[in-house]
């Protein structure tokens, strides 16, 4: 049966939420893949129309979900004209992204120099560089698996595991994965902990290479 309701909860990282409908006693479960418009970004408060179904004795679930009234639109709304000589704000994303990448580029350069100095002074064995590279690749792929699990209701990788990987040297791979997969970037507490692991790893590596820590 076709229903209409309001999205009252949305778990962005996990890709699901709940719709409240006055005709249904319980909130209706909805998953990101149940939206007909795959480009839609669900937001709390959004008015939605959907088909109500019941599967396996569980609560109600929404299917064929779309923005309320979307099916009655005969043509997409026209984009308002912009004054000449004024740049489109939507084109500023790449520039902002490039500027936000500059600190990480400097940090990676400093990290590479630190590792190189450690190898040159024999504080780090050459094999350690290969181990750190493999660790970053492993962290990158684990982020990718976790992002996929978030959209398919599969078992997630604990955040503590992701932070541990960053702490022991996988933080460069984590940084690239966060931006490629658009994963965890919007979670402020997670990103704060991530940067803490980066600084802790850099401090420990600097102390080791600088001979502030005794050799084993």
pLDDT tens column, 113-147? 999 999 999 889 999 999 999 999 999 999 999 98
Check whether residue 41 and residue 110 sit in a common domain.
no
Check whether residue 190 and residue 118 sit in a common domain.
yes
In a domain, 79, yes or no: no
In a domain, 216, yes or no: no
Check whether residue 108 and residue 60 sit in a common domain.
no
88: left (phi over 0), alpha (psi -120 to 50) or beta: beta
In a domain, 44, yes or no: yes
Residues of the domain holding 114: 98-209
Stronger pLDDT, 164 or 82, i.e. the higher one: 164
Of 113, 152, 137, give the one whose Cα is nearest residue 16.
152
For the question of whether the overall pTM of this predicted structure is more than 0.75, the answer is no
> Which runs of E-coded beta strand occur in 82-165?
none
Check whether residue 43 and residue 107 sit in a common domain.
no
- Could you give phi then psi for residue 53, rounded to 5 degrees? -135, 165
- The model's pLDDT over 56-98, given as tens digits with 9 standing for 90+, comes to 667 788 888 888 766 554 445 555 555 555 544 444 444 444 4
Contact (CB, 8 A) for 135 and 169: yes
Check whether residue 184 and residue 108 sit in a common domain.
yes
Check whether residue 32 and residue 102 sit in a common domain.
no
In a domain, 40, yes or no: yes
Stronger pLDDT, 103 or 194, i.e. the higher one: 194
> Which runs of E-coded beta strand occur in the chain?
2-11, 16-20, 28-31, 47-54, 60-67
pLDDT band at 215 (very low <50, low <70, confident <90, very high): low
Check whether residue 132 and residue 186 sit in a common domain.
yes
In a domain, 160, yes or no: yes
How many C-alpha atoms does 21 have within 13 Å on its Cβ side? 24
Q: How many domains does the chain have?
A: 2
The answer on pLDDT for 28 being more than 60 is yes
- DSSP, collapsed to helix, strand or coil, labels residue 125 as coil
Check whether residue 22 and residue 114 sit in a common domain.
no
* Residue 139 burial (CB count, 10 A): 25
Query: How distant is the alpha carbon of residue 13 from its chain centre?
Result: 7
Check whether residue 21 and residue 108 sit in a common domain.
no
In a domain, 195, yes or no: yes
**Which CATH number covers residue 40?**
2.40.50.140
> Which runs of E-coded beta strand occur in 68-137?
none
Of 18, 6, 2, 3, give the one whose Cα is nearest residue 47.
6
Q: What is the mean pLDDT of residues 43-66?
A: 81
Check whether residue 7 and residue 45 sit in a common domain.
yes
In a domain, 156, yes or no: yes
């Amino acid at each position: 049966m076709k229903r209409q309701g309001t999205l009252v909860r949305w778990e962005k990282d996990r890709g699901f939420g709940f719709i409240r409908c006055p005709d249904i006693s319980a909130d209706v479960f909805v998953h990101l893949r149940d939206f007909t418009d795959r480009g839609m970004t669900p937001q709390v408060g959004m008015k939605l129309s959907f088909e109500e179904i019941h599967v396996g004795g569980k609560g109600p679930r929404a299917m064929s979900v779309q923005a309320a009234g979307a099916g009655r639109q005969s043509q997409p709304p026209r984009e308002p004209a912009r004054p000449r000589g004024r740049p489109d704000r939507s084109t500023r994303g790449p520039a902002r992204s490039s500027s936000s990448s500059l600190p990480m580029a400097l940090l990676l350069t400093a990290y590479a120099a630190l590792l190189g100095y450690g190898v040159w002074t024999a504080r780090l064995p050459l094999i350690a560089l290969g181990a750190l590279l493999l660790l970053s690749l492993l962290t990158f792929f684990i982020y990718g698996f976790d992002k996929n699990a978030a959209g398919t209701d599969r078992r997630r990788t604990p955040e503590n595991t992701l932070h541990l990987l960053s702490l022991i040297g996988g933080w460069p791979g984590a940084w690239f994965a966060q931006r490629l997969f658009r994963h965890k970037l919007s979670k402020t507490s997670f990103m704060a902990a991530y940067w803490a692991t980066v600084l802790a790893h850099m401090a420990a590596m600097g102390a080791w290479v600088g001979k502030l820590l005794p050799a084993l």
